[in-house]
Each structure stands twice: as structure tokens, then as C-alpha cells.
Amino acid sequence: VSNAGVGMVGPLECQSLAAMQSLMDTNFFGLVRLVKEVLPDMKRRRGGHIVVISSIMGLQGIVFNDIYAASKFAVEGFCESLVVQALRFNVAISLVEPGPVTTEFEAKLYEEAERTDYSRTDPETADIFTNLYLRNSKDVFASLGQTPEDIAEHTLRVIEAAQPPFRHQTNVAYTPMAALKHADPSGALMTDAFYKLVFKYDAVLRLSLR
């Protein structure tokens, strides 16, 4: 089970390349290093199961989560490319894709975001992040967040499955969001829906979450 991960939220201009590279080293290359270690033995004995804790943000980018989403997209692409070869050796790969999970990981991430200096971005972007994104995120976690125990139960079901799924989303509330991309390959439907959700209907979003 590959579960190591770090987060990053905020305006792109306020994040250093060193921090981005460190995140990718953990979230993506950490997985790559693990798979390189375990896959040869699994292939030799023609059996095994690699379970990767990914994220719904490996399927759908979320505003102000640019680098974190990029790392999870990389995880998804890596596993999707590898799974066909692995199946030839009777090795299963499963991606567990949670939405928001209420843990100290998230709490510390948002506490840090509230203390960060946003002078390196423009005032409008800083205002959108602090007064729209952070406020809405708290409501999202309060209403849709799962517990670590819930994610553990989902992961256990994937591990014990007779035919392990390649992808397993833990929160049905995010199924429509992921489906938007498949409904319109041009991306216009998804982009328009998220733009309106963030900038036109944020009050309705907060009310519905509450």
C-alpha cells in the first residue's frame, strides 16, 4: 500500500519551485520508488497487489490545488500505463481515490495557508483564495469529509476483493464532478460548471453544504 503524501494549496505565484519539487518527490516519485522495489518479485512469482492511495484530484483539478493535483494526475497516469503490463504477470494495481478526508493533515495545511504571505500575487487573486476558497473548503470538509477509518474500510474492501478494481472512489458525492469530463471531451462543460460554482454561485454552494 502506497500512502505517503504531502499537500499544497494556494496561488501559484506564492509557491516556490523547491516546494513543488519536494511535493512531487514524495507524492509521485515516492510511489515510483516503492513500485520499482516490489514489482520485480511480484512478477517473478506471478502474483501480487499494489494499492495506491490517490485522490479525486487525480481525476479532476481543483482551483488553487494546481501542484497537488498535478502530482495525483501523475500517479494516475503512471498506474494506468503500468496496469496492463502488470496484469500479464497476474499483478493487480488499484487506485483508491478519496475526496476530502478530515485529518490533521488537512487541518495543518489550511492553518498554514491562513498564515501565508500572499503579497507575491495580485490582490484579487489573494482575495479569491482567502475569502472564497478557504471559506468554502471548510464547509466542504465539514459536510462531505470522510474519516480516516472510513477510507481504511474502503481500502480493505479493495484489498480483499476477488477481482480488485483498478479505480475505487470512496465518496459518491464526487462522482458527478468526475463524470463532467467524460460528458464533454472538449472540457468546456467542466470548466464552465466550475467557474460558475466558484464565482457566481458560491453563496448557494455554501448554503447547500451547510
Active site positions, annotated:
68
Q: Where are the alpha helices (DSSP H) in 128-201?
A: 134-144, 148-160, 175-183, 188-199
Buried b (16+ CB within 10 A) or exposed e, 23-57: bbeebbebbeebbeeebeebbeeeebbbbbbbbbb
What is the distance between the alpha carbons of residues 142 and 100, in angstroms, rounded to a whole number?
9
C-alpha cell at position 102 = 478530515
* Distance (Å) of CA 103 to CA 75, 125, 138, 142: 22, 27, 13, 11
